[in-house]
A and B are shown apart, each in its own frame.
Chain A
C-alpha cells in the first residue's frame, strides 16, 4: 500500500500533470479516430449483394422469380439489359449478373441460368455462391410446392450479437493504456533528465521507490480519466456494449496501467535521450501490438509464436479485459490472466525500482 508521503506526493504530481491539458486531450485523438473508423467500417450488417438480373424470358415464372430475388434482403437487385449490366459488372458496380434464359418458364426442365462474375472477386464468390444456390433452391421449392425435407436453424450460442468493434474495443483500450503509460512515464523521465529536474530532485531526500510510486499513482489517475472518456465515447457514440462488470474491468485497467507505467520507468532509466527512448519504446510496443491479440485473437497466430505471444504483458491485460467486456466473465473466471498480470505487476515494479538509480538517471 502507498505510504502517506507517496500519496501526498502523488497528489502534488497529479496537479502538475493535470496542467498539461493539451497533451492529455491530444493523446485521445488517435484512439477516438481509430474507433470511429472501425465503428463505421464494420457496423455489423452484411451489405446486400449487388445483383444484376437480365430477364430474357417473358414468362410469368421468370417475372415472379426475379421479384422474389428483389424481395430478398440479401440482394440489391438491378433489372436491366445484358450489355449495360456487363459494363457495370466490369466497373465493379455489380457483384454479379444473373441471366435468365428465354426458355425459363413453368414447363422448363433444367433451364440454364447464366451467372456472370468478376474473377477479381473470387474470394467473395466463395461466400456468395452457396447463398445464391440456397435461394434458388428455396424459390424452386416454392414454385413446385415441395416441402423441404429439413431445415437448418442457426443459433448463436453466445446469444448476443457481437460486432468487430465490440471485439476490438477491449484490445484497443489495452493498447491505448500501454501507449499512454509508457509515454507517461518513460518519455517524461527522459524529458525531466534533459531539463535537469531529476538532478534537482536527487538532492532532496526522496527515495526512488517513493518517487516512482508517486509518479505512477498520479499518472494512473490521468490515464483512468482518459480511458473513461474513450469508454464513454465507445458506449454512447458507437454503441459498443460492455457486458461484464465495470468494477472488474477498471480493476484490470488499473493493474495494466501500473505495469506499463513501471515498464516505462525502466525504459526511461535505460535510455538516456529522447531518440533512444523512442527507439527502445518501439521495440517494446510494436511486437505487442501484433502479438498480444489486440486486433485479432492470439489463437489465429502461427503455433510457434503463440506460447511467446501469450506471456506478453499486453496479452494478459487485453485477454482479461476482453473476457470481461465481451463475455461478462468474473474475475474468478479469468484467474489465469490475473496470475499473469500479477507476475508482471511485481516484475515491472521491482525492475523499475532497481533500474531507477538516482546517480545513474540524474546525471
Chain B
C-alpha cells in the first residue's frame, strides 16, 4: 500500500477561457497526515477541495486519492468514491426534517447497512462528538457548533480514510471553533487523513500542522507543522 493518500500532479482548474482558479498545483498528502490549505478568499481553497471530492473536474493534471485517479472517474464511480471520503461543509448541510440520528445515519442508509449496524455506528460517532444525548432532536434546535459536530459525525460515520473540511469553523465563534478543531485532531489521531481549508491563522497556530498556502490558485508555500 502506498504511503500517499492524496497526490495532485500539475492540477489546473479553469472557469471560462481566461480565469484560472487553480494553476499547476502539485503536492502529496501522506496517509494519516493532518494538513491545512490556506489563503485569502478566492485563493482556490474551496475549488481544491471540490476537485478532491469529485464535485468538479480538473481542467489539466491528475488527482489520485488512495491510488485511484479521481480526475477521470465515471459518474457512478464518483458516488462510490464519495462514500469513502468524508466532507465537512462550512454551512453544515444537515437535513432539517431529519433527526440528528437520521442525519448521521444517512450515509450508512445509502450503503444499505443493517439497522443494527447503523444504530451501533451512529451511537459511536455521536459519543465521539459529544452529542449522544441529542439524537432525537432536530438540527435547528442545536447551536452552530453543535450542528457542525453533527456534520462531522455524519462525515466520519462511514469511517473514511480521508476527511476534507471546507472552512468548518467559518461560521463559529473562536471558542466553538477551537472545540471543533480539537475534534478534528481527535479524528486524525484515530488514523484518518485530514485536510482542512481555512484562513483562521489563530486556529492553525493553536493546532499546528502542515500548511499549504494558495495565492491566486498557485501554491506559494508548503510548510510543515514545525516550520
A binds B: no
Residue positions of B touching A, CB distance < 8 A: none
